[in-house]
Structure 1
Amino acid sequence: MHPFIHLKVHTEYSIGNSVIRVDQLLRRVVELKMPAVALTDEVNLFALIKFYRGAISKGIKPIIGAELKVIEKKEIFYLSVLCQNQVGFHHLIQLLSRAYVNKTYQHEQACVQWKWLIALKEGLIILSGGQQGDVGQALLQNRNSLAKKRLLQWIEHFPDRFYLELHRTHRDREEEYTYSAIKLALTYNIPVVSTNDVRFLYQEDFEAYDTRVCIQKRCLLNDSNRICNYSDQQYLKSTEEMQELFSDIPEALENTMEIAKRCNVQISLNKVFVPKFPVPVFQTEEGVFCAQSKKGLAQRIDQSRINREYMERLEIEIDVITKMGLAGYFLIVADFVAWAKKNKIPVGPGRGSGAGSLVAYALGITELDPLEHELLFERFLNLERVSMPDFDVDFCMEKRDLVIDYVMKRYGYDAVAQIITYGTMAARAVLRDVGRVLGLPYGYIDKIAKLVPFELGMTLKKALRQEKILEKRYTEDDEVKNLIDLAMKLEGLVRNTGKHAGGVVISPTKLTDFVPLYAEPNSNHVVTQFDKDDIEVVGLVKFDFLGLRTLTIIKWAVQSINIRRKSKKEPALDISSISLEDKTTYDLLKSCATTAIFQLESRGMKELIRRLQPDNFSDIMALVALFRPGPLQSGMVDTFISCKHGERNVQYLHPDLKPILQLTYGVILYQEQVMQIAQVLSGYSLGAADVLRHAMGKKKPKEMAKQREIFIKGSISRGINANLANQLFNLMEKFSGYGFNKSHSAAYALITYQTAWLKAHYPAEFMAAVLSSDMDNTDKIINLIKECRDMDLTLLSPSINHGKYFFIVNIHGQIEYGLGAIKGVGESAISHIASCRETTGEFKGLFDLCYRVDLKKIGRRVLEPLIKSGAMDTFGVSRASLVRSLSKALRLAEQKNHNILLGQSDLFDNELDTKSCDNYEKVPEWNDNERLRMEKETLGFYISGHPLQAYEKEIKTIGAIPVNRLVTYSLKKNFAVIVGMVLEIRNLITRSGGRMAILIFEDQTGTIEVTVFSNLYKEIKNEVLEKNTILVVRGIVKKDNFSGRLKIIAHFICTLDEVRTRAKRILIRLTTEEEINQLLISFPTAIDKHPKGSCLILFIYQGKTVSTESLFGRTWHVKPSTELLNHLNQLYGKGKIELEY
């Protein structure tokens, strides 16, 4: 029996060319009792660490390799390289990195140059690539002398490390190649090796693999013209199957084991490699770190406040940091934070447990005095729980990349890179992908995909359990079942690569000493081939440069405020110096007007604020800690609030708990409080207390029993009886699961407070900044515009003569609409228009505008959306006329520019300009519906009116109540009828598995929330509950417990058309003889085009001297549909047609 090892295996990280998941591969290798397996993904080592660790944990020998695409002159071929030793491993890393960094691409796949491979040949074993290798290609082309020449080249450079690779996977010309390769091997005494070019685990996985390939190549499964260079035999075959295939060439099997024995690479894991901070000659990192920490503290805190407590705390932190070898790490973070601040790039006050470090505060990394806010350093770092510190630093979104560029220049481009991420095939997307390659109609796939709930972490299995309609389709429709079954096999596989939002790795030497590098074909951004988890496993230190949108908002708002203050000769606002005890700010918070305020925007949070009524900074810190499922469900929140308002007495199990829990009204809210209790009541050091906190969070029974014993023993030694000590431990254990990081709460509470302060004192500037930051999100813009109206701020319509790219505040305190929020209009185009306007004055009209701008930058694609949005209404010409005249204006502008270029500009041109400026095409104005439709298309909402305006009379006839009158109406009656448009829909799953929805409903007077419970939801057709549908709702008016606003619990919902079927009569009101004549001529034909029904038609004539009524006979009874009413309005004019119920 000849042993066999798979030496050519591709995983899902050969993106689009395998469906093997690493963990499943290793489980299968164990089942097949194979002692080793190789990883040879296509031109990458993405999966290496996951594969290596998994293999070691399962007792499998991991063989490290990759399939390379090699280019020599113009020839391209494939081969596999396996790492024989550490030297070979580092050479493979360099080869792969160079292929991406040097942009050596062919068909969007990185290539390794032959000369690089020869230069870095030591420690590498080569498998020839079979038919796709350079030798194999020559053999199949009957170029035997070329095959011989290439073979001898390989032997020269890789003596006893080159193997001719043989496959038997039923692919074209395989046996022809095998015969020629064996003949060549015998002639030159070259070893052969068998592989199976594995792409899937089991033979039955072939369909899933075939589908994945088609998704990647964007072709149909049933396309008879597609090229398939693979077969259903490329699965992970057993030793017995491979023995049967190669029974005639046993050496090919034996050599797999021989190669496996030769490949011995060990990867260093979990050893930390901290990057070095550059220090002056004859100085050490530790010395510089210590000096800067002490100097920084003296600069940050008034000398009168630096007491023994501060100095002792600083010394303790310095001692821990230097003992852990992290002085350089702190200096690096302090350096890039200082650079950002020096270059006016806003930096967050802190994030995570790092805000608890006094050294971080002294070095300028954080902005909160940890002693003032009782924050603990040991929660961040201590010698008793050794772990790498993790400073997540928030930067303004606008210029975060500049900080990363600075770090790259400072420490070297070869030592700094961002970190890769992997996108996966998520539930909805994979259904669409599979449906597309199966050739199913788009509409059919779309309906199935939309049945998958849109929730984070949703899977197809969960969707089938939750969504009854989807489950029914799955069990009753074979086509749907096939679609979902196939999609489930691909769900979760790697789809693409990306770049981590903020992860940056700094290496003490070249990055390629530790990790391979990667770059997309069309990108200059180099990233590591290992993701953030694997980066940490190989010991590299990750720095998080996170972009926080709120910092950008604060920056923009303060810039705008300071322009205004400068015009009034007032000193500039420094947001970091505002008082944390401002009554106006707390009044705003208490009123729950927290839309756009950092962390406090959600409905649930507003309800918590309404109950809590925060009136100090500690309360703001507590809000975020309290607003989580654990505290909300445990009763902690109720206790906290009732104790704060004096409705319940604060109780402490022991007097020493009072100073620890006083600010949180006796509730253990923060993890740091657990640590302090252990320190004060049981004598733990803060480092040991952090170990206790960590153990409580993990809930490991053995560790918890050990900690309980230590705690009780320590408490007894401090005079606390065993029973009380046990109670205290139980209390800590209970609340530790809900505890929040106090350092993080404090740092983020500061940002929350700053945004609240800005909204309270400079509402226009703040809202303009918020609107600017969300310009790409139409739904948010709609809500923010509503908030501006609720705040009585004036938001002007878009204007080509006043607007800039962003929303700005003018000298009158009004918000000018940001032209960048108009769909299809880019920043460079708007900047150019604004520049022309500022240089030569406001535009007089469309023709003037076209003459003055650079038509290479500004064309129809920019100008048309500007017209449709109303941005050119300032010219006093109808939008319809402007759109129709646009071609002419562009043509004349091009003609003028051409004349100027040829030096033919003269007085005649000036005369032409003057005439053409008034020479707009005469066309009818757009009707209201058309105008509003164009606004919706370009702005995402209606700005000059509302679609319901056309139905005002009809809505009154139905007896609908305007939303803004529901407050007074609900005092008299429970039930109300409203008519409006659906702005938003949130589909939810109830606990019993049914579906319900929450609608944001709008009429011309305001918005209201409508709840549709599952019993009604089941009765409503899918197309009824869609955005922008006009609906009639009858339901109970209630006050929402969360927001304090009114909402409606729907009992009945239908469309306006459905209500119209109940109309008794259509009234046609006419006032002139011409209209009567028109009626007599057109009425019969008009009515014949529409369905018959039971609704009567009454004609009413009200002339100057005569009035009459006439009821049309049964022949003319109709069904009053929207189409019929629109037709009648078109024939007889607006306001002439009414419905009577």
Structure 2
Amino acid sequence: QMGFPGYFLIVADFIQWAKDQSIPVGPGRGSGAGSIVAWALNITDLDPIAHELLFERFLNPERVSMPDFDVDFCMEGRDRVIDYVAERYGRNAVSQIVTFGSMAAKAVVRDVTRVQGKAYGLGDRLAKLIPFEVGMTLDKAFDAEPQLKEWVETDEEVREVWDMALKLEGLSRNTGKHAGGVVIAPGKLTDFTALLSAEDGSSLVTQLDKDDVEAAGLVKFDFLGLRTLTIIDWALGLIRETRGEAPVIERIPMDEAKVFELLCRGDTTAVFQLESRGMKELIRRLKPNSFEDIVALVALFRPGPLQSGMVDDFINRKHGRARVEYPHPDLEPILKNTYGVILYQEQVMQIAQVLANYSLGGADLLRRAMGKKKPEEMEKQREIFLKGTTERNIDAKLAGSIFDLMEKFAGYGFNKSHSAAYALVSYQTAYLKTHYPAEFMAAVLSSDMDNTDKVVPLIEECRRIGLVVRPPDVNAGAFKFSVKDGEIIYGLGAIKGLGEGPIGQLVEARTDDGPFSDVFDFCRRVGTSKVNRRALEALIRAGAFDSLDEPRWVLMASLEDAIGQADQEARNEAVGMDDLFGLGAESGTASSADPYQHHRQTVRWTERDVLRGEKETLGLYLTGHPIDWYADDLKGLGAKALENLERTRDSVRVAGLIVGLRVIRNKRGESFGIVTLDDRTARMDVTVFADLFADCRDKLADDSLVVIEGDVSFDEFTNGLKMRANKVETLENARKESASGLKIHLETRVPAFAETLLSKIQPHLGGECPIVIAYNAVNASGEVVLGEQYQVHPNDSLLLDLQELLGQDRVQLEFAARTQKRA
């Protein structure tokens, strides 16, 4: 009737090809999931009848417009599908679509600075003063940021940049390639549009953008890459590797009680669409117990519903705290699943159909009109609606109020077809996390292994749910994160300075000849031309040789010999030369009983050295945590563990590493901060309000160790605890304020002790912390307090020097008892 069977068949064709090639395809996206023909052709995976999805939301016979299937593919396979389409329908008829990048606020000031030949630092500073917000413009930034305004008004160079930037802002700057848009022409593309070589030279793109392409009569298809499909595919592959067989993800039970228990706990880190902080809070309040509830969650978590009170209504009605009421009895079948709340656009259409005799095509026109809020169109639709309700003997006043209600919620209503399709992917990921946590989390970590900021919280999540994450391992690891005996092995590809080529060489050598016995064996078999010294050092510092049961410092010390021997053997082999007795690779340093015998006396690395190596090569601390070094200090300072915090009227002191900072503006335009604090027992957000934030912002850098005093109270929104900071200090300052003495324990006579001690404390004199020497020998004991001229600043440098001299357990800070303050 609408003339689109060819379109459906083309989409069905490339989706079926992708499935035949084992390229994961999404269950559906957008309004297309409402089409039963699409479901029958395997374009979508959701039965639209079972989920009450409407075809007219996708294609309206009363308003003919081009169909638009958005199809999600696995990130790794998307380009293969596009290539298949080009091959099947002709490379001269298939092209991707151009995009035009514009000169946005930050970019335009950088560009102008560069072109005017001004210092890079000027443009960089100017760009950083422009707030990072969606829709930010130069004018908005000028009004919002006092420092920016002052600089522009007082500096002639800056004013010159700013004036030109204002003229250029918003102009097209460069061309790009649309993320997923592909056009298929009925003949040669050049009969319809000019073409342009993509910036990377890899393909041709249309010179018309996505809107102009459709105006020219070409049909656009969206081939989108969805990372979650890749994660599911990788997870299923790991499950097959570790357990022999994997579930068929399209056939998993949709009413699994354990999955909903995981959701209700808010354990949704890495679960598609449900992992943000705000979404977790919403889930804990809503407590989903059916797939319909997950569909509702995806639709509810948007600014409109959250700000309108719709979310509170929905939750209170679901849990019986408010009555479920329907505007008219005939609407109960339509609104029952959403407890009488009009949540979906499809419900608006069904209400119009049931109460006012609209066709579903006409109801879609009503929905569109309500969304656009054009007064004349709305008045016209109100008349049609009231006429229809009159024919069904519905009271005019009631009908008018129902129309007003529909109009109100149409602005917030969400496309249920899209919500249901994405809720299915959410459920699939929650199912995998529930039943196959190690394999699922390993797949998620692999997908983000280039982004340390994302890996850190994922590693924390693994620890929180009881999964062991082992360091990278040359004898068991792969490029991506993997699983062995229920434990996750860190991906070798996540080590900085180690590319895919060397890792491939490593895995090939291990596959051919078995595990590596020592670092000499590794260098000889892998070859130092493929894995250079820098890469070897990164492997050692990241812990990738730990499975060889040798300390990292011994391995590092032996590296020179191992590389030298491997190079010598490679040169010998190249000229066909063997050693005198024909023993080849079996001779030399590595064949001795202990290949490391000449390196065992090397200086031992401290725990700090080990962790520093991990942080530099992996971007995070894996086998320990810096806060462990200060456990005694924090205990002395009275800092409570975050996991043990309770609501109290007393001011509480906590301490931890800063792992995140969000800067937000209040209604007065002042900046305040929400600091994410990590003490390894837990993470907590601490609010630092404007006055305090202005004073302590320089102390809130990532990885800084801070001590915070504040008030802990109950957060009704999250059903957890929240904290407001009253005081923020660095650990060093907190020690200076609170340390009552630095105690040194002696049990035997130390040669030249006085001279050595004086040389160690000399750089740190001038503080207020007294030194106490506690002597405890067999025949005598006592304490000596050194004079005021020997009082010190109790900083890390001094403590480390004394601990190296005397031993860690013989040097300790003592703290004065802390008095509690009422909040």
TM-score (norm 2): 0.93
Change over 3 Å in CA distance of 1:1027–1:677 after alignment to 2:
same
What does 1:1030-1045 correspond to in 2, within 5 Å?
1030-1045=705-720
2:724 to 1049, 1058, 1073: 1049
Q: Please name the residue that 2:100 is paired with.
A: 422
Change over 3 Å in CA distance of 1:925–1:775 after alignment to 2:
same
Read off the aligned partner of 1:575 and give its amino acid letter: I
Cα distance in structure 2, aligned partners of 1:681 and 1:325: 31
Q: Please name the residue that 2:818 is paired with.
A: none
Distance apart, 1:959 and its partner CA: 1.3
**Structure 1 residues 949-958 or 456-465, which shifts more?**
456-465
Distance apart, 1:619 and its partner CA: 1.0
Distance apart, 1:695 and its partner CA: 0.8
1:399 to 77, 91, 102: 77
Read off the aligned partner of 2:428 and give its amino acid letter: Q
2:780 to 1096, 1099, 1106: 1106
Cα distance in structure 1, aligned partners of 2:780 and 2:128: 59
- Checking the alignment, whether the CA contact within 8 Å between 2:710 and 2:727 is kept in structure 1 is yes
Q: Please name the residue that 2:341 is paired with.
A: 667
Correspondence 1:557 to 2:235: yes
- Checking the alignment, whether the CA contact within 8 Å between 2:641 and 2:654 is kept in structure 1 is yes
Cα distance in structure 2, aligned partners of 1:633 and 1:737: 12
What does 1:686-1085 correspond to in 2, within 5 Å?
686-810=360-484, 812-906=485-579, 907-909=582-584, 910-912=586-588, 913-915=590-592, 917-918=595-596, 921=599, 922-966=601-645, 970-971=646-647, 974-1020=650-696, 1022-1063=697-738, 1065-1071=740-746, 1075=750, 1077-1078=752-753, 1080-1085=754-759
Distance apart, 1:365 and its partner CA: 0.6
- Checking the alignment, whether the CA contact within 8 Å between 1:408 and 1:417 is kept in structure 2 is yes
Cα distance in structure 2, aligned partners of 1:881 and 1:486: 60
Change over 3 Å in CA distance of 1:808–1:1093 after alignment to 2:
closer
Cα distance in structure 2, aligned partners of 1:1100 and 1:433: 65
Distance apart, 1:942 and its partner CA: 0.7
- Checking the alignment, whether the CA contact within 8 Å between 2:742 and 2:769 is kept in structure 1 is no
Distance apart, 1:424 and its partner CA: 3.6
Read off the aligned partner of 2:518 and give its amino acid letter: G
Q: Please name the residue that 1:376 is paired with.
A: 54
- Checking the alignment, whether the CA contact within 8 Å between 1:1075 and 1:1132 is kept in structure 2 is no
Cα distance in structure 1, aligned partners of 2:305 and 2:738: 53
Cα distance in structure 2, aligned partners of 1:1075 and 1:564: 57
Cα distance in structure 2, aligned partners of 1:848 and 1:1043: 55
Read off the aligned partner of 2:655 and give its amino acid letter: V
Cα distance in structure 2, aligned partners of 1:768 and 1:376: 38
- SS of aligned partner of 1:681: helix
Cα distance in structure 1, aligned partners of 2:373 and 2:61: 22
Read off the aligned partner of 1:941 and give its amino acid letter: L
What does 1:334-349 correspond to in 2, within 5 Å?
334-349=12-27
Q: Please name the residue that 1:680 is paired with.
A: 354
**Structure 1 residues 1117-1126 or 979-988, which shifts more?**
1117-1126
1:389 to 47, 67, 79: 67
Q: Please name the residue that 1:273 is paired with.
A: none
Cα distance in structure 2, aligned partners of 1:1006 and 1:1112: 40
Q: Please name the residue that 1:1137 is paired with.
A: 811
Deviations 1:330-360 (CA, angstroms, capped at 9, x unpaired): 1110100010111111111110001101111
Cα distance in structure 2, aligned partners of 1:1097 and 1:593: 49
Change over 3 Å in CA distance of 1:839–1:587 after alignment to 2:
same
Read off the aligned partner of 1:509 and give its amino acid letter: G
Cα distance in structure 1, aligned partners of 2:117 and 2:741: 48
Cα distance in structure 1, aligned partners of 2:767 and 2:152: 40
Change over 3 Å in CA distance of 1:1114–1:584 after alignment to 2:
closer
Q: Please name the residue that 1:224 is paired with.
A: none
Distance apart, 1:482 and its partner CA: 4.7
RMSD of Structure 2 on Structure 1 (CA): 2.4
What does 1:363-512 correspond to in 2, within 5 Å?
363-434=41-112, 448-475=126-153, 480-512=158-190
Larger CA Rg, structure 1 vs 2: 1
Cα distance in structure 1, aligned partners of 2:177 and 2:644: 51
Change over 3 Å in CA distance of 1:1094–1:793 after alignment to 2:
closer
1:1094 to 768, 790, 797: 768
1:544 to 203, 214, 222: 222
- SS of aligned partner of 1:1108: strand
Alignment coverage as a number of residue pairs: 809
What does 1:296-375 correspond to in 2, within 5 Å?
319=1, 324-375=2-53
Q: Please name the residue that 2:203 is paired with.
A: 525
Cα distance in structure 1, aligned partners of 2:762 and 2:121: 33
Distance apart, 1:919 and its partner CA: 5.5
Correspondence 1:648 to 2:301: no
Read off the aligned partner of 1:843 and give its amino acid letter: F
Change over 3 Å in CA distance of 1:1119–1:793 after alignment to 2:
closer
Change over 3 Å in CA distance of 1:436–1:477 after alignment to 2:
same
- SS of aligned partner of 1:905: coil
- SS of aligned partner of 1:865: helix
Read off the aligned partner of 2:742 and give its amino acid letter: L
What does 1:571-610 correspond to in 2, within 5 Å?
572-610=246-284
Change over 3 Å in CA distance of 1:332–1:520 after alignment to 2:
closer
Q: Please name the residue that 1:82 is paired with.
A: none
- SS of aligned partner of 2:702: coil
- Checking the alignment, whether the CA contact within 8 Å between 1:603 and 1:1042 is kept in structure 2 is no
- SS of aligned partner of 1:413: coil
Read off the aligned partner of 2:611 and give its amino acid letter: L
Q: Please name the residue that 1:186 is paired with.
A: none
Read off the aligned partner of 1:923 and give its amino acid letter: T
- Checking the alignment, whether the CA contact within 8 Å between 2:71 and 2:224 is kept in structure 1 is yes
Distance apart, 1:749 and its partner CA: 1.2
Change over 3 Å in CA distance of 1:892–1:422 after alignment to 2:
farther
Distance apart, 1:429 and its partner CA: 4.3
Cα distance in structure 1, aligned partners of 2:557 and 2:126: 42
Cα distance in structure 2, aligned partners of 1:693 and 1:743: 15
Change over 3 Å in CA distance of 1:492–1:934 after alignment to 2:
farther
Distance apart, 1:593 and its partner CA: 1.2
Change over 3 Å in CA distance of 1:1042–1:891 after alignment to 2:
farther
- Checking the alignment, whether the CA contact within 8 Å between 1:375 and 1:672 is kept in structure 2 is yes
Deviations 1:643-687 (CA, angstroms, capped at 9, x unpaired): 222222222222221121111111111111111111111111111
- Checking the alignment, whether the CA contact within 8 Å between 1:1097 and 1:1116 is kept in structure 2 is yes
- Checking the alignment, whether the CA contact within 8 Å between 1:642 and 1:648 is kept in structure 2 is yes
Distance apart, 1:985 and its partner CA: 1.1
Change over 3 Å in CA distance of 1:872–1:767 after alignment to 2:
same
Cα distance in structure 2, aligned partners of 1:493 and 1:879: 55
Cα distance in structure 2, aligned partners of 1:877 and 1:558: 35
Change over 3 Å in CA distance of 1:1052–1:431 after alignment to 2:
farther
- SS of aligned partner of 2:700: coil
Q: Please name the residue that 1:227 is paired with.
A: none
Deviations 1:7-35 (CA, angstroms, capped at 9, x unpaired): xxxxxxxxxxxxxxxxxxxxxxxxxxxxx
Q: Please name the residue that 2:311 is paired with.
A: 637
TM-score (norm 1): 0.68
**Structure 1 residues 527-536 or 676-685, which shifts more?**
527-536
Distance apart, 1:1046 and its partner CA: 3.0
Change over 3 Å in CA distance of 1:477–1:613 after alignment to 2:
same
Change over 3 Å in CA distance of 1:451–1:522 after alignment to 2:
closer
